[in-house]
Amino acid sequence: MKPERIIKHARQQLFLGLDFSTQGLKSTLIDRAGQVKAEMAVQFDAALPEFKTRGGVHRQADGLTVTAPPLMWVAALDVLLTRMRKDRWPLARIAAISGSGQQHGSVYLKHGARAALGTLNHRQALREQLADIFSFDRSPIWMDSSTTRQCRQRDAALGGAQAVAQLTGSRSYERFTGNQIAKFYEQHPDLYAATEHIALVSSFAASLLIGDYAPLEPGDGAGMNLMNIRTRDWAASALRCTAPGLAKRLGAIVPAHQVIGNLSRYFVQRYGFAPQTTVIAFSGDNPNSLAALGLARSGDIAISLGTSDTVFGALSAPRPSASEGHIFGNPINPRGYMVLICYKNGSLTREWARDEYAHSSWKAFAEELAATPPGNGGRIGFYFKEPEITPLALKPGIYRFGPSSRPAWFTRAQNIRAVVEGQFLSMRLHSGNLGLEPHTLLATGGASVNSSLLQVMADVFGREVLVSRQSNSASLGAALRALHGWHCWRARKFVPFANVAQPASSFRAAAEPDRSRHRLYTALLPRYAQLEQKVIS
């Protein structure tokens, strides 16, 4: 369709963001002003119980392997769109769609999958037509930590951990897609040979929408240990040490604002979308959350308290580190970068502490926290219920140290305070090491509604904490990127994100730092760093 026709109907245009998260498929519909018009979510466990997932995943008995069935994501898309149609969402007015996926997960598609995606019959559900396109019916996801050996092989082939970080933006991480692909190739060479295409969760979802293999963009592509972080193209040496014939299975990397195709006829005919609906490259949930918050200025930092906790911010020059964090492409600035520090022990570990020490009640959790002094009388704890990845790959374990830095026993309340303070001290330590100096903190994610957590965050960093009323930041970010990509496409050039795609929801001040408490945490930080060294060595 000609751009003129779209402009004529500009008043009516809407933009859709889809987020294929670990636990469910979420969506956000916005107008041209970035105002949220509607939201909808499908929880995988509840809506699709036949896939027998818990929290959207399957955990193997080894405690390390975590996968999800990719057909469940396919099925969820039809469930979501059917509900939207039933609720009379104005699908025909959607001008552009973009999306988000949990990062690092890989989808293995066998020969013939491309043809199946391109010839869908709108009278049949996606899952019936696509059940047979996978060469591997289990997608390893970000919670998987079973590839330590492949990580060490990558380090050896590329000249060590720092060399891997310099090249790809991150040291070798177990969950990163390249290491998952190397394991897949080693364990199932026959299935690898039968694989025509390997997608990320994000690009797989985009492939469903365009009816063809979708390219990646550098925000999610950087989470693979395979992309050269500076050229934003595949790093040949990193592909070579992963699996043979990988380049042709991975496809292209395009800028995040690029139109990757029109919506497939399947969705037009089955759900009533407009045939000219454009699809913008999908990205990972963390890059999309960065877009949702419009993090552009250096010092703009967000902390997302979710299943995994993440700290992220924009950066103009990459300073990759083998000790902590990741550098990804910035999805709203094709020349920029973003820093991400990810913790596997986020909400699940806080919920465990709530159940263990506060009778499964957040109210009791907050009361116990309030009953202990900030700084916990010098007590510091490390709670790795999940294998941790920051600063290093660490096995599950709990370590508690008294004021004299000797192992100690903690009361219930002291445990709760140690879980909370330890996490924010770690965030301050490692984001500081990567050069992130916050002027304010934006808190997002499910647990950002918990004001007692936000107060400790403000005190540890010594900065005001703001929260966004919008909680589905990845799907909002995807919707804003759809709007941004659509503007770039219309203008036939890159348009600065801030000019066209500001999130309309405002931020609310949630916690002010207390100066004396901040001084106390600053004094505690070197001891925290020393004890962390002790725990990881």
Q: Contact positions toward ligand XUL, by CB under 6 A?
A: 21-22, 102-104, 142, 175, 223, 284-286, 308, 310, 340, 342
Q: Minimal distance in Å, beta carbon 342 to ligand XUL?
A: 4
**Contact in structure between 100 and 20 (CB atoms under 8 Å):** yes
Compare residues 305 and 419 and give the one whose CB is closer to ligand XUL.
Answer: 305
Residues in a beta bridge with 401: 380, 407
Instruction: Report the first-to-last Cα separation within the chain, whole angstroms.
Output: 60
Closest CB 190 distance from ligand XUL, rounded Å = 29
Look at residues 362, 358, 399, 396 and name the one whose alpha carbon lies nearest to residue 379. Answer: 399
Closer residue to ligand XUL, CB minimum distance, 340 or 394: 340
In the complex with ligand XUL, which residue's Cβ is closer, 285 or 459?
A: 285
100 or 376, CB closer to ligand XUL?
A: 100
For the CB of residue 304, give the shortest distance to ligand XUL in the complex, in Å.
8
Which has the closest alpha carbon to 383: 411, 410, 423?
Answer: 423
Looking at the Cβ atoms of 172 and 372, the one nearer to ligand XUL is: 172
Angle at 355 between CA 354 and CA 356, to 5 degrees: 95
> Helix 412-433 crosses helix 362-370 at what angle (to 10 degrees)?
80
Tell me the closest approach of the beta carbon of residue 406 to ligand XUL, in angstroms: 34
Backbone angles phi, psi at 219, to 5 degrees: -70, -50
Extract the tokens encoding 431.
């984001």
102-120 burial: b if 16+ Cβ within 10 Å, else e: bbbbbbbbbeebbebbeeb
Choose between 21 and 67: whose C-beta lies nearer to ligand XUL: 21
Which residue's CB is nearer to ligand XUL, number 104 or number 354? 104
CB of 142 to ligand XUL, least distance (A): 3
CB of 169 to ligand XUL, least distance (A): 11
Instruction: For the CB of residue 294, give the shortest distance to ligand XUL in the complex, in Å.
Output: 19
In this structure, the number of other CB atoms found within 10 A of the CB of residue 33 comes to 10
Name the minimum Å distance from CB 22 to ligand XUL: 5
In terms of Cβ atoms closer than 10 Å to its own Cβ (0-12, 13-18, 19+), residue 412 is middle
Are residues 462 and 518 in contact, defined by beta-carbon separation less than 8 angstroms?
yes
Contact partners, residue 379, CB within 8 Å, separation at least 6: 400, 401, 402, 403, 408, 410, 414, 417, 418
Cβ proximity to ligand XUL, 82 vs 433, nearer residue: 433
